Amino acid sequence: MTESSHVLVTGGTGCIGTQTVKWLLANTRATVVVGSREVSRQQTRDLFEEDDCTRLKSIRIDIRNQRQLEEALTSHAITHVIHLAAMQTPDCNADRDLGLQVNLAGTQNLIEAIKACRPSLHRFVFASSIAVYGPRHSYPGLKVPMLAEPAPVNVYGTWKLAGEHLSRLFCLETGIPTVSIRPGVLFGPGRDAGLTAATTTAMKCVALERAYEIPFRSRQDYLYAPDVGAAFGNAAMAPFRGYGLFTLPSHTVDTAEIIALIRRAASETGLDANFAITAGTAEVPFICDLQYGPFLLAFPETPHTPLAMAIQDSLKFFRMQRERDGLKL
């Protein structure tokens, strides 16, 4: 990887975006351009205060504005694009028109901007989601094949599936190597929104010595946020040809198991004195047991942190945030 590489990360201040930027700064010599609708020096300091920011630039971009995207691509000599900007499921359900403009039309705008200004692009990475699948009971067997038939149950998953097809067509039309990634349930540093953020909220409550009930008891595929950032970084920078579609390395456990692991990590980090994490009674049919071997074959340098270690590291991170008066639920 040369110093002439310039990586645009749309949605670069979100959970995955922040971890992806951190990985790029630590593991490459590339200039990283963080694109977000809201940009401030204070936000950049808060998110990347422990990182070497000499190669970091923050710019304000709206994924709905193709001309603005073209300007960003050309003025920063972008060579790699990691497209993460999107509205999450609750926001898409609340405002479907805006969700459509951001999640689907925004992806098309970015693709058309790349075509219009023809930068020397080496890779395009699109963040899809496991929301493209149906409920777990739709897929028989112990494991769900990575290329099992999609059956999204909401507009968020539908638009992500359409975005995969747009990315595939982009690769066919331009010859630019393109990767679509379907991340699942993230936990750890930076996770703060959505139903499946409940597990991370539980860890924060342990650090704050508060009680908390995770509102379901279901099996899920859990992904450690820094590992996901590394996965997107590897997908952008490691050698690759053609078009690829992947799910990511995960840990499949139910809520009772995750609480037991949080309790153990709390004991090991001295946070167990007031441990009061419980699970609700709801059974949510989250997709889980997804195969992920093909991603590790394509990008073997991607880390897959053991679940117990990832939870312990997350608790240490949240305890440090609390000590700095920066931990919020």
According to the model, what pLDDT value does residue 247 have?
97
How far, in whole angstroms, is CA 171 from its chain's centroid?
Answer: 22
pLDDT-based confidence at residue 3 (cuts at 50, 70, 90): low
Domain assignment present for 32: yes
Amino acid at 215: P
Residue 90: the pLDDT is 87
Per-residue DSSP letter, 144: B
Q: Is residue 34 part of a domain?
A: yes
Residue 53 lies in a domain: yes
**Residue 272 CB neighbour total at 10 angstroms:** 15
> Distance between terminal CA atoms of the chain?
38
CB 188 within 8 A of CB 222: no
Q: Which two tokens stand for residue 62?
A: 């709206």
Residue bearing tokens 């963040």? 127
In a domain, 135, yes or no: yes
Residue 141 lies in a domain: yes
Provide the whole-model pTM.
0.95
Q: How far apart are CA 314 and CA 82, in angstroms?
A: 25
Of the pLDDT bands very low, low, confident and very high (cuts 50, 70, 90), residue 38 is confident
pLDDT per residue as tens digits for the range 168-214: 999 999 999 999 999 999 999 988 877 789 999 999 999 999 999 99
271-323 per-position pLDDT tens digit: 999 999 999 998 888 899 999 999 999 999 999 999 999 999 999 999 999 99
Label the pairing between strands 220-224 and 251-253: antiparallel
Q: Domain containing 133 — which CATH number?
A: 3.40.50.720
Instruction: Find the mean pLDDT for residues 25-36.
Output: 96
Contacts of 270 (CB under 8 A, 6+ apart): none
What whole-number distance in Å separates Cα of residue 154 and Cα of residue 69?
A: 28
In this structure, what DSSP letter does residue 163 have? Answer: H
- Give the pLDDT band (50/70/90) at residue 2: low
Boundaries of domain holding 43? 6-187+225-249+287-304
Place of tokens 């009772």: 256
Instruction: Please give the backbone phi and psi of residue 205, each rounded to the nearest 5 degrees, phi first.
Output: -65, -35
Residue 132 lies in a domain: yes
Q: What is the pLDDT of residues 127-178, one digit of tens each?
A: 999 999 999 999 999 999 999 999 999 999 999 999 999 999 999 999 999 9
Q: pLDDT digit string (tens) for 45-59?
A: 888 888 888 999 999
Number of domains in the chain: 1
What is the per-residue pLDDT across 203-257, written as a single tens digit (0 to 9) for each?
Answer: 999 999 999 999 999 999 999 999 999 999 999 999 999 999 999 999 999 999 9
How far apart are alpha carbons 228 and 126 in whole angstroms?
13
The pLDDT of residue 327: 87
Q: For residue 89, is it within any domain?
A: yes
Q: Measuring CA to CA, which residue among 107, 47, 104 is closest to residue 82?
A: 107
* Residues 238, 184, 182: CA angle, nearest 5 degrees: 45
